Chain A
Amino acid sequence: MTELTLRGLTKRFGSLTAVEDVTLEIPNGRFVCLLGPSGCGKTTLLRLIAGLEEPSAGQVLVGGQDQTRVPTHKRDFGMVFQSLALFPHLTVAENVAYPLAIRGVDRASRRKRATELLDLVRLPDVGDRRIHQLSGGQRQRVAIARGLAIDPKVFLLDEPLSALDANLREHMQVELRQLQERLGVTTVVVTHDQKEALTMADVLIVMDKGRVQQMGAPMDLYRDPANAFVAGFIGSTNLIPCRLAGRAVELAGTRIELAEGDRVKCADGDAVLSVRPEDVRFAEAGLLARVTFIRDLGESVQFTLDLDGREVSALFAPRERPGVGLGDSVHLAFEPGQRVVLAP
């Protein structure tokens, strides 16, 4: 069943179009990450879903019902804000039970549900504390518990982990994902951190300039990007200008036959070849490049190479480190079956 449907959703602020003609369907129970650079419209899209912004055009449907004209407070959603937006004048338990109090749930049931929820986010025994008495990670959990208090139809999170330090963030990503799997609530998270998105999402939606660039399973997007923007934004990649002619590309004066598994996403003519750094290999013959920098990262070694005036990076496991040094000339080969030819 489709839980959340967006149809032609558009939002303009004056002459600026923040979200343009977004149409997509999110099945029930999925964990969706809206990923994109800052200013790409992902937060605006989330706010449109929540009803915090009025769309200039298009519709928002939940469970097949048009919600476009339904005010925010009647949508029965849960939301976690970037600033968390916990109420400083209420206790932790009162914060968590706020959506229930608004719906007229009696005090005893509220108390019981708040305790349940705080247990769920592994924060027992803090119900009577004030928000300012909690650490950043604890506040995060309270905000999540509060967002889940009414078993929301859709759970929305706007950059929820951005205020946490790196270690805690990675930990919370895993925890949030596990929690969502257990509850099965349809969840949409906005993030600009691709690692975070890859960690949590079943479905990744990459946005740029107000438009959806690609939507799909994270690894599908990684292996099979629809365009150069997605290829560059999900993981890192080398984007090398080339000319496409049938099943072969020509770059830096060298013709490379495409193999089975290599994907072509554009018509013949000018194109870019996307090759992940881990798919760049040193070979006996082929493209000639020069080593300009070597970066030892511990878990891997990264070579920066100059290929006909263009920067290419290659990644090796430490044990497979080739015996070449700075300034050396090497021949490059790109792993067959892992190459993607995209529109420039």
Chain B
Amino acid sequence: MRSLGALYVIAILLLLAAPLVVVTGVSLNGGQSLNFPPQDMSLRWYGALFQQPDWLGPLRNSVLIAALASLLAVAVALPLALHVWARGGWLGRALYTLGVAPFMLPPVITALGFLVFWISLGMYGQFSATVVSHAVFLVTLPVVTISLGLQAIDPALIEAARVMGAPRAKVLRTVVLPLIVPYMISGYAFAFVLSLNEYIIAYMVAGFTVETLPIKIFNSLRYGYTPIMGVVSVLFVAIAVAVFGLIGRYGNLPRLLGAERVRE
């Protein structure tokens, strides 16, 4: 039965991997066409991503948006999670709901909301609009990870610091913040990866002026396939695996995702 279970898990994981294997193969084609198995194996399209201006621009946009939006998301999530943790109350509950809501609703709704919002402000199509929209949409991830980190703090640590003479602000700076740094990093990483992959909000807010990689791929799907699309997909999978792999290596991924006890 154990081995049957393991077999089931492996079969599903193989199914999940299949499209990625094909895409990896496609990205290795030497020619312009998308064949699998690849023909004239070559890495030329990997170089092309970083040389062709019409792909380099979206690459730069995507990375910049992800980096800034995640930073903003963490900057908002940190006071939010701290307030919920330390004070609770109706404001705490309302804030937490507001913090996790963007992620629970179909993204199209949020995207449309941002679209009309930025039109009203006259900022439709601007780079900063995409950054802020992503920051609001992805705030859920650092909110959840930082809250987990705060819940893991033994309240006696706070009390100990108080008895030893630390006023409120110093408790926060010398005890609470150092202890939740790993959770802030995880939250940033989660938000970064998802921002990189996000399509609909980026598209609705500034799709025609600020092209990101997902938008560029989608456009290529309509106006001519190229193996570079495979390259970008491989790159994105690699980044995601690297980021989550690092969190798994140096953090406690099962706990971060809500498990309470795990066999070593």
* Direct A–B contact in complex, judged by CB atoms less than 8 Å apart: yes
Chain B positions 5-51 with a Cβ under 8 Å from a chain A Cβ: none
Within 8 Å of chain B (Cβ to Cβ): is A79? yes
Whether A99 lies near B165 (C-beta < 8 A) is yes
**A76 near B175 (CB under 8 angstroms)?**
no
Q: How far is the CA of A321 from the CA of B204 in the complex (A)?
A: 94
| B interface secondary structure, majority | helix
Docked pose: A102 CA to B161 CA in angstroms: 9
Tell me the bound Cα distance from A72 to B161 in angstroms. 10
Q: Which of B154, B170, B174, B179 contacts A85 (CB 8 A)?
A: B154
Residues in A neighbouring B170, C-beta threshold 8 A: 102
| Closest Cβ neighbor of A80 among chain B residues | B160
Contact present for B179 and A150 (CB under 8 Å): no
Contact A103 B165 (CB under 8 A): yes
What separation, in Å, do the CA atoms of A217 and B157 have in the docked complex? 34
Contacts of B106 in A (CB 8 A): none
A81 touches B160 (CB 8 A): yes
- Report if B1 contacts A (CB, 8 A): no
Query: Which of B157, B165, B178 makes the CB contact (< 8 A) with A150?
Result: B165
Known A52-B159, A82-B156, A83-B156; judge A98-B178 contact (CB<8 A).
Answer: no
Q: What residue of chain A has the Cβ atom nearest to residue B156's Cβ?
A: A85
Residues of A within 8 A of B161 (CB): 87, 98, 102
B86 CB, min distance to chain A CBs, angstroms: 15
Distance to closest chain A CB from B251 (angstroms): 14
Q: Is A77 in the interface zone, CB < 8 Å from B?
A: yes
**With an 8 A cutoff between CB atoms, is A89 at the interface?**
yes
Question: Considering only CB atoms, which chain B residue lies closest to A156 in the complex?
Answer: B163
Question: Closest residue to B159 on the A side, CB-wise?
Answer: A52
Whether the Cβ atoms of B159 and A81 lie closer than 8 Å is: yes
Contact bitstring B49-82, A, C-beta under 8 A = 1, else 0: 0000000000000000000000000000000000
Q: For residue B166, which residues in chain A have a CB less than 8 angstroms away from its CB? A: 73, 98, 102
For B157, the closest partner residue in chain A by CB is A85
Question: Quick check: is A319 within 8 A (CB to CB) of the other chain?
Answer: no
A-side interface residues, number (CB < 8 Å):
29
Per-residue interface assignment for chain A, residues 52 to 93, with 1 indicating a CB less than 8 Å from any chain B CB and 0 otherwise: 100000000000000000011111111101111101110000
Instruction: Closest B residue to A149 by CB, please name it.
Output: B164
Query: Is B167 engaged at the interface, CB distance under 8 Å to the other chain?
Result: yes
A50, CB-defined interface residue at 8 Å: yes
Q: Chain B contacts of A42 at CB under 8 A? A: none
Residues of A within 8 A of B179 (CB): 88-89
A residues less than 8 Å from B175 (CB atoms): 87, 89
Do B165 and A83 touch (CB < 8 A)? no
Among B156, B163, B165, max chain A CB count under 10 A is at B163
Give A81 to B159 CA distance when docked, in angstroms. Answer: 9
Q: Inside 8 A of A73's CB, which chain B residues have their CB?
A: 162-167
Contact with B along A94-112 (1 / 0, CB 8 A): 0000110111000000000
Chain B residue contacts of A72, Cβ below 8 A: 159, 162-163
In the complex, chain B residues whose CB is within 8 Å of the CB of A156 = 163
* Chain A residues, CB < 8 A from B174: 98, 101-102
Q: Give Cα A333 to B164, complex, Å.
A: 55
Provide the bound-state CA to CA distance between A134 and B247, in Å: 26
Q: In the complex, which of the residues B157, B163, B167 contacts A87, with contact meaning CB atoms closer than 8 Å? A: B157
Please state if A81 and B162 are interface contacts (CB–CB under 8 Å): no
B200 to chain A, nearest CB (A): 40
B165 touches A85 (CB 8 A): no
Find chain B residues with CB under 8 A from A211 CB: none
Q: Which residues of B contact A141 (CB under 8 A)?
A: none
Contacts of B154 in A (CB 8 A): 83, 85
Query: Which listed residue (A82, A83, A88, A102) contacts B164, Cβ 8 A?
Result: A102
A146 within 8 A of B: yes
Contact indicator per residue, chain B 171-183, by CB within 8 Å of chain A (1) or not (0): 0001100110000
Minimal beta-carbon separation of A79 from chain B (angstroms): 4
What would be 24 A-B contacts, judged by CB atoms less than 8 Å apart? A50-B163, A52-B162, A71-B162, A71-B167, A72-B162, A73-B165, A74-B165, A75-B163, A76-B165, A77-B163, A81-B159, A81-B160, A83-B154, A83-B156, A84-B156, A85-B159, A87-B160, A87-B175, A89-B178, A89-B179, A98-B164, A102-B166, A149-B164, A156-B163
Q: Across chains A and B, which 4 residue pairs bring their CB atoms closest together, nearest first?
A: A85-B160, A85-B156, A99-B164, A79-B163
